[in-house]
Every structure is written in structure tokens, then in C-alpha cells.
């Protein structure tokens, strides 16, 4: 009995031990199955070297990358208007045109052309009477005054004052040298050629110098184009830059044409003045362009190379 009882007790303890081990194994398995697994995407995001969108916004804000930028043109996104190659062509073309006209004038080849244009603007019965009503004659005289030194000096002083006030002193010095050099070149060429003024028609304006090249045509063209070439370097919008340059060129053309209408210049004088004015303005723009490549854009304005 005792032996059987001991056997039964041993068997009960063994069975109880087996049940305990089974319960422990089940608990371990249940723990493995029910324990929440870490989310891989969260871990990857936390350990990734790429900053979060919110972090990127904070970095951009701190570094000033979210500042408003000036609008750029789809046609001219690099702010290179006018193109450098076009300006070199304009400078070379204008110089070549002036040389041809100078040779033609000295050789007398333009006499027929000049006389025909001048006489076409006057009444055939009365060469002293210009074409058009009195108010048109007065308008042409006033437009011609826009190319005179009093107006040009006034406009230049105002432009220089603005540049100095906004602390662009280098640009102001450059503009002064460009306009002063162009005016000196015009006066020197008049002394070299010493061409007489037209004597076919009455003069509707007073004159004090020789005829070739036309100072009004040349100095007004180079002055307004040079002023425009400086202005567009501080203007980011393409359409505005195109308008400024076209308006400056149109003003120079009108002033030159008015000198022929008033009978104080031969047409070839004005053509030569326009040609040399375009050449000088183009060279000034190119000079500013190459100077600004190695300088602060705020000095001469923006110009991408």
C-alpha cells in the first residue's frame, strides 16, 4: 500500500510538473504572439538622415530660402537682356555704318539723297515753308529740344542723383563717364569733318557748330540708350526691360528725324549720328556687363555671364 501510494504520489507530481511546463510554454508563446511589434516605418523615419517636412520648413525659414524672389521671364530667365552677342553685333554694325557714311559724305556720294529728302519735307513753291500745319512745326521743334544739351544734362543729373541716393556710386560714376565721353566724341568728330549746314531750305532752329555728324542724333541716342542700359540692369521683369530699351531707341529716332525736318541737318548727318550713338551705347553696356562679372551685382546691377 505504501509503495503504491508512493508510486501514485510520484506519478501525480510528475504529471503536475508536466502540466506546469506546458503552462509555462503556452505563456511564453502567448507573450510572443501578443507582444506588439515595433513599427518599421516609424523606426526608419526616426533613424533616417532625411529631415522631416516640418524640419525642412524650419531650416528653410532659418536660412532665408523662403524669401520672395523677383519674377523671372520664361524668355530671359538668366537676366541677360540684351544678349551679349547681339550687343557686339550692334556695336560692330553701327561702327561700320558710320565709317561707310563718313566715306560717302567726304566723297560727295550722298548729295543727291540728302537734297531729295530735304526738299520732300518742304513746299515745292516755297522751300521756306515746312510740311504740315503750324502746330506740327512747333511740336517738332519741341521734340528736337529733347536732344539738346540743356535737357540731356538735366536728365543726366537727375539719374546720377538717384544712383547716389540709393548708394550705387560706382554705377553713377560709370554713367557720368559714359555720357561725358560720348559728348566729347561727338564734338571732336564735328571738328574733324567740318561739314557745312544745309543751304537748300530755311533753318527753323539756331545752330552753332558744323553739320557732320548730327550731335542731336548721336548724343540723344547714346545718352538715352546708355541711361536705359543702366536702368534695365536693376529691373528684373523682361517685358519692362524691353519697353525701356525700345522707348529710348524710339526717342533717339524721333529727335534725329526732327533735325532733318527743321532743315538744320542733312539726312546723312543724322544717319551717322544714330549709327555712332548705337555703337557707343552698346560698348557702354558691354563694359558694364564685363565689369559686373567680377563685382557685387549691386554695384552695376545684375548681369549673368
pLDDT, tens only, 91-150: 999 999 999 999 999 988 999 998 998 888 887 777 777 888 888 989 999 999 999 999
- Grid coordinates given for 287: 563694359
13 vs 6: CA distance, rounded Å:
10
Mean pLDDT computed over 33-46: 48
Closest CA to 232 of 17, 79, 43: 79
Q: How confident is the model at residue 220 (pLDDT cuts 50, 70, 90)?
A: very high
Residue 305 pLDDT greater than 50, yes or no:
no
Closest CA to 277 of 181, 207, 203: 181
Alpha carbon of 249 to those of 158, 224, 244, 275: distances in Å?
20, 7, 9, 12
**pLDDT given for residue 146 in this prediction:** 92
Are 192 and 210 a contacting pair, CB within 8 Å? no
Residues 6+ apart with CB under 8 A from 220: 146, 147, 152, 251, 252, 255, 256, 277
Closest CA to 163 of 66, 230, 115, 106: 230
Q: Which residue has the cell 548708394?
A: 167
**pLDDT given for residue 94 in this prediction:** 93
Q: Which position has the higher pLDDT, 19 or 294?
A: 294
Are 247 and 241 a contacting pair, CB within 8 Å? no
Are 13 and 21 a contacting pair, CB within 8 Å? no
Residue 25 pLDDT greater than 70, yes or no:
no
194 vs 26: CA distance, rounded Å:
118
pLDDT, tens only, 152-167: 999 999 999 988 898 8
Are 245 and 82 a contacting pair, CB within 8 Å? yes
- Grid coordinates given for 151: 535737357
Mean pLDDT computed over 248-264: 92
Residue 206 pLDDT greater than 60, yes or no:
yes
pTM of the model: 0.69
Residues 6+ apart with CB under 8 A from 20: none
228 vs 222: CA distance, rounded Å:
10
Closest CA to 181 of 116, 276, 106, 245: 276
301 vs 235: CA distance, rounded Å:
9
pLDDT, averaged across the chain: 76
- The secondary structure of residue 68, as a DSSP letter, is P
**pLDDT given for residue 294 in this prediction:** 61
Are 144 and 259 a contacting pair, CB within 8 Å? yes
What totals of helices (H) and strands (E) does the chain contain, helices first? 12, 0
pLDDT, tens only, 171-193: 888 889 989 999 999 999 999 99
Q: Which residue has the cell 561707310?
A: 100
74 vs 187: CA distance, rounded Å:
43
pLDDT, tens only, 73-89: 333 445 555 678 888 99
Mean pLDDT computed over 46-53: 49
223 vs 178: CA distance, rounded Å:
8
Amino acid at each position: 500500500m505504501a509503495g503504491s501510494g508512493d508510486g501514485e504520489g510520484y506519478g501525480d507530481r510528475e504529471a503536475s510538473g508536466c502540466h506546469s511546463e506546458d503552462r509555462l510554454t503556452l505563456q511564453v508563446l502567448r507573450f510572443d504572439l501578443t507582444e506588439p511589434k515595433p513599427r518599421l516605418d516609424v523606426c526608419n523615419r526616426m533613424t533616417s538622415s532625411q529631415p522631416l517636412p516640418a524640419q525642412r520648413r524650419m531650416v528653410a525659414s532659418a536660412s532665408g530660402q523662403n524669401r520672395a524672389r523677383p519674377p523671372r521671364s520664361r524668355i530671359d530667365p538668366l537676366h541677360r537682356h540684351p544678349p551679349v552677342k547681339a550687343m557686339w553685333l550692334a556695336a560692330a554694325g553701327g561702327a561700320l555704318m558710320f565709317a561707310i557714311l563718313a566715306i560717302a559724305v567726304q566723297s560727295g556720294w550722298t548729295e543727291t539723297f540728302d537734297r531729295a529728302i530735304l526738299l520732300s519735307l518742304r513746299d515745292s513753291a516755297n522751300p521756306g515753308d515746312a510740311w504740315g500745319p503750324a502746330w506740327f512745326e512747333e511740336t517738332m521743334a519741341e521734340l528736337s529740344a529733347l536732344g539738346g544739351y540743356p535737357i540731356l544734362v538735366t536728365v543726366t543729373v537727375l539719374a546720377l542723383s538717384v544712383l547716389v541716393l540709393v548708394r550705387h556710386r560706382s554705377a553713377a560714376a560709370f554713367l557720368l563717364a559714359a555720357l561725358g565721353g560720348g559728348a566729347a566724341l561727338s564734338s571732336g568728330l564735328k571738328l574733324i569733318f567740318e561739314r557745312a549746314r544745309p543751304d537748300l531750305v530755311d533753318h527753323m532752329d539756331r545752330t552753332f557748330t558744323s553739320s557732320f555728324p548730327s550731335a542731336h542724333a548721336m548724343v540723344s541716342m547714346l545718352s538715352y540708350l546708355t541711361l536705359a542700359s543702366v536702368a534695365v540692369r536693376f529691373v528684373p521683369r523682361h517685358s519692362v526691360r524691353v519697353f525701356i530699351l525700345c522707348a529710348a531707341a524710339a526717342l533717339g529716332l524721333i529727335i534725329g528725324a526732327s533735325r532733318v525736318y527743321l532743315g538744320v541737318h542733312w539726312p546723312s548727318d543724322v544717319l551717322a549720328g544714330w549709327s555712332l550713338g548705337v555703337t557707343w551705347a552698346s560698348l557702354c553696356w558691354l563694359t558694364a556687363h564685363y565689369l559686373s562679372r567680377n563685382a557685387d551685382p549691386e554695384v552695376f546691377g545684375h548681369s549673368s555671364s
